[in-house]
Amino acid sequence: MLHSISTLFTSDTRLYAVTWGDEGGPDLPVEAWWGKEELSGGFEYAIDLLSTDVHLELKTFLGRALTLTTRLSDGSSFPRSGYVRSALKLGADGGFARYRLFVVSWLWLLSRGRHHRVFQEKTVIAIIETVFADYADVAAWQWSEEVAGFMADTRPRSYCVQYNESDYAFVSRLLAEEGLGWKVDEDAEAPGRHRITVFADSHSFPEDCLSQSANGGRGIRFHRADSQEDQDAVLAFGEQRRLLAARSTHLAYDYKAKKVVAASVPTAQRFASDHAPRLESYDDAGPYAFATADEAERYGRLAMEAIEARYQTWLGRSTVRSLRPGTRLDLVDLPQDPGQSADHRFAIREVVHVGINNLTGEVIAAIASRLSRPQPFAEPETDGEMIMSVALAGEIPGELLKLAAARGYANRFEALHADTPWRPQLVDDTGSRLNPRPTAPGPMSATVVGPEGDASPNGADEIWCDRLGRIKIRFHWQQGETPDDQDSCWVRVMQRQAGPGMGWQWLPRIGQEVLVDFLNGDIDRPYVMGSLYNGKGEGGVPATPGGQSGATDDSVFDPASDHRPAGQGNLAAGNSPAWHGGAAASHRHPAALSGFKSKEFGGPGYNQLVMDDSDGQQRLQLKSTQHSSELNLGYLIHQANNYRGSFRGTGLELRTDAWGALRAGRGLIMSTWPHGTPGAPAGDMAPAMALLQQADSLAQTLSQAAGTHQTVKLAAAIGSLGPNQSTIDDQAAPLKALHKIASGMVDGKDQDTAQSDAEQKHTATGQSKVPHLTDPAIIQAARGDFGQVAGQHLQVANDETITLASGADSNFAIAGKTRIHSGQAIGLLAGATTPGDGNTGLKLIAAKDDIDLQAQSDEMKFQAKQEVKLVSVNAHIDFAAAKKIHLAVEGGASITIDGGIIVQCPGTITVHASKKKFSGPTSLSREMNTWPTTNFDDSYILRNESTGEPLANCLVELTRMDGSKLKIKTDASGKTPVQKSEFLEMIDVRIIG
């Protein structure tokens, strides 16, 4: 059926021809071609070529630059250039082979490149330039002049991820998000003789070459097809309208500003009649998509313009061989002339081409017949992502094929008014969102990194975060070829609780593996869900000799002891758990330990909270290795990391190798009496109150006895400041006041009422009352013994009274000296209730040295109901007085010794002696004691209780113990004049001005 190629195709009659790039190629005549191209979608042409060589290697065609030249009606040539992406051999007929080449733009090559990478603080233009630079040997592109101004107000992308996307899909969505379109233009200087032009304003489209020259420059005619016509024409043209959204609303939540940023943009066009519904396109743009409302409005307007560009479109069919997307045409002779010339100008959005070379009628009919059947393609698109937005249909439209057979060329096109802005529009697989980002497939693993993207801590610098506790990570798939691809943006870390100055704070550290999820599935919005253990432990991993599983070896755990861990490292460096069940026998538990453990920056120290749930041995440990400070509760044992050591006791242990402090601002109870019931109130201290009552009763009894026997009464029983008064309670002596403190009862339901009850010292019981100290006292009560020992000193001091009461004996054993100093009286009373053993009352014995009793100011009296005995075992007894010594008995006899000796006796004086002698007068001197005097003279400094500052030049009133009142003034340092006294006394100071 086919004639020779030289007969069918000659250089002067060829309608279509193929030329190759600079490297040249075989001269293969074009039999037919068809294709599709569109704005922001590129093109794909299928070109059928003939050759006398049936053995051409298909691989020689791949990747080669090719230009399909179309001869126009005026004799000029119109090129369409691209790269061969695929080649098919369709078969041979009569010695000729037919080859089909699929030709695409260089941007199609980006669909073959797939990357995983991160861009930070880059503009969209800079990101796309980076992607295009990888294809510099075949790529050619340019940015329209208006793009710079159009993008001037857009922010750089702080964090932009290309994950599992082809470079083509990545670039396409970035351009669509910013409202930028692209088209293919011919460029003889480009590597593939074409370039990509990115534009922001479709009004700048150039006019089609035929539209410029036809009809005297008036435009392309709307006219029927006619073989006698010398110019191409538009044969069919009709309007299409769609009911679309009349409002575009976009919303995003900004977690930093804690507010929603939204904008709603209405359409500028009248979409339909008044009775048509006003539809809204509502889009949750994702977290912190917009910085300001103006930015939200900008992107809302771009989305609205994308909708408007698809509301009113024009469908046409023509024989205009130069028609391409990205150009505009003026259409004349339309039957429905709206009367405005601007309405004749249309921008071309999409074109479907069919061309058959100008052959004989028989050959053309055969070609048309062959092309009318389903056509084979290079390969099915089964990779889940459309290579390009253009895709050749399996069948060529019949009306175009028929027209092409008659005219050599036909097309079907879609256009919009030239004054309508055109914006690209991408939708996801459900069509629910405009220009969607790819959805993350699920949580991903990543590594926490430091300031330079390093995954290993630098000494003590184990953590890197900002004021919001955000960290930086690096996904395992990041290539790290550029600085901003070595880490991430600041990523929030999910906590169990987060609030204003409150919540959990557990930040993963540099080098640790974390699990990352994505807000709304947006690959550009990661957040850290938590940390992951990794690495390979030392033990519990079976060997695989010769590929066969061996026995599990747990021997590495055996050396563990109370103070030595074992089996805690990693054969493969990683983050192993602090506690595990990998050695149930050696470490004495099957994963019974849980809790959390931190680590010192740059050191081996740590803090931990361990909960041990071993059956019958429950334990809790709060521990810091700093000075071995820890609190142990329950079943106390030694623990070395994962090893449960030997038994240490039960109950509670609070210990530290440093110093400790226990403070309670409203009082503290320490007791060894257990609660009677588990639900008893915390302040229940009935046993202690009973002991306090016993102490008060004992003190009252002995104090009354002291009064009976004319010695000093107990101030703790009768009152320290006055009768039944004490510093803490003006209506109770110290012991009763302490019992009242312990008897406090407060409201058990309302905190404010309870605090008021405590301040008012309420002790009345009630159904809703609970025990509570009324004052900030410390009460210690022991069910058994109570001991206090000190290696050096034991000091007991207070401002008022100290009472030591015992129901039986009180013993003081002192290895050195005992000193009892009193500012006032010392009262000793023995036998107040019952005689002592052996009728002993008070014994004062010095085993060595003297007993020195002195009354340095007043009298010394010795009184006894029975006899008074003075005995010197080995020496004599001396009586000496500064004035006189007088001895007298009830019978009337007396001896007075002063300057002389006077003996008086109402009865007989009897002297028994073997020798009697009375000598004459003489004089003997006797050294008498000189008594020191103690003056209690002092001054006082008055200070502000809150600030500690001295109260200078302040008028105060002093009340002395004898009741006298003095008004004095402090000096510049807050000091009072010296107050003199011969004895210790209490002084009341009151500030009066």
Report which of 416, 360, 402 is spatially closest to residue 235, judged by C-alpha positions.
402
- The pLDDT value recorded for residue 280 is 86
**CA dihedral over 907, 911, 917, 923, signed as positive or negative:** negative
Give the least confident one: 208-212, 476-480, 553-557, 838-842: 553-557
pLDDT of residue 58: 94
What percentage of residues in the chain have a pLDDT greater than 90?
37
pLDDT at 766: 82
Mean pLDDT over the full length of the chain: 85
Q: pLDDT grade, residue 388 (50/70/90)?
A: very low
For the ranges 375-389, 413-427, 876-890, the lowest mean pLDDT is seen at 375-389
Amino acid at 3: H
The most confident of the ranges 211-215, 460-464, 865-869 is 460-464
Q: What are the pLDDT digits (tens) for 337-367?
A: 544 445 689 999 999 999 999 887 778 888 8
DSSP secondary structure of 372-385:
TS----S----SSS
Domain segments of the chain as ranges:
108-202, 243-309, 444-536, 589-658, 685-780, 935-993
Domains 108-202 and 444-536 share a fold: no
Residue 85 to residue 63: CA distance in whole angstroms:
6
Which residues face 411 on adjacent strands?
318, 353
Coil, strand or helix at 301: helix
Query: Is it the case that residue 677 has pLDDT exceeding 80?
Result: no
Q: Which residues contact 47 (CB under 8 A, 6 or more apart)?
A: 18, 30, 32, 33, 66, 68, 100, 101, 102, 103
Report the 10 Å Cβ neighbour count for 271.
19
**Could you give the maximum distance between any two Cα atoms of the chain, in Å?**
191
Residues 572-585 pLDDT 10s? 556 777 877 767 67
Phi, psi (degrees; rounded to nearest 5) at 59: -65, -20
Winning range, highest mean pLDDT, from 77-81, 538-542, 724-728: 77-81
Residue 99: which residues within 8 A CB-CB, separation 6 or more?
A: 28, 48, 49, 50, 51, 56, 58, 61, 87, 88, 89, 90
Express each pLDDT in 915-940 by its tens digit. Answer: 777 776 665 555 555 666 666 678 88
Say yes or no to pLDDT of 6 above 70: no
Tokens 């100071």 — which residue? 989
Contact 894, 887 (CB under 8 A): yes
Confidence of residue 387 (pLDDT cuts 50, 70, 90): very low
CATH assignment of 444-536? 2.40.50.230
Is the pLDDT reported for residue 384 higher than 50? no
Contact 559, 199 (CB under 8 A): no
Is 0.85 topped by the overall pTM? no
Question: Which spans in 574-714 are helix H?
Answer: 686-708
From 746, 747, 667, 734, select the one nearest 703 (Cα to Cα): 734
> What's the pLDDT band for 83 if we cut at 50, 70, 90?
very high
| Domain 108-202 sits in CATH 3.55.50.10 | yes
State the distance between the two ends of the chain, measured CA to CA, in whole angstroms.
Answer: 130
pLDDT confidence of 34, banded at 50, 70, 90?
very high
CA distance 896 to 889: 12
Q: Give which of 98, 102, 74 is closest to 87, Cα–Cα.
A: 102
Which tops the pLDDT comparison, 19 or 396?
A: 19
**Residue whose pair of structure tokens reads 């030595």 in the numeric block:** 564
DSSP 201-240: -GGGPPBPHHHHHGGGGT-EEB----TT-SS--EEEEEEE
| Contact criterion met (CB below 8 Å) for 388 and 104 | yes
- Residues 194-223 pLDDT 10s: 999 999 999 989 999 998 887 767 889 888
pLDDT tens by residue, 983-993:
667 788 888 87
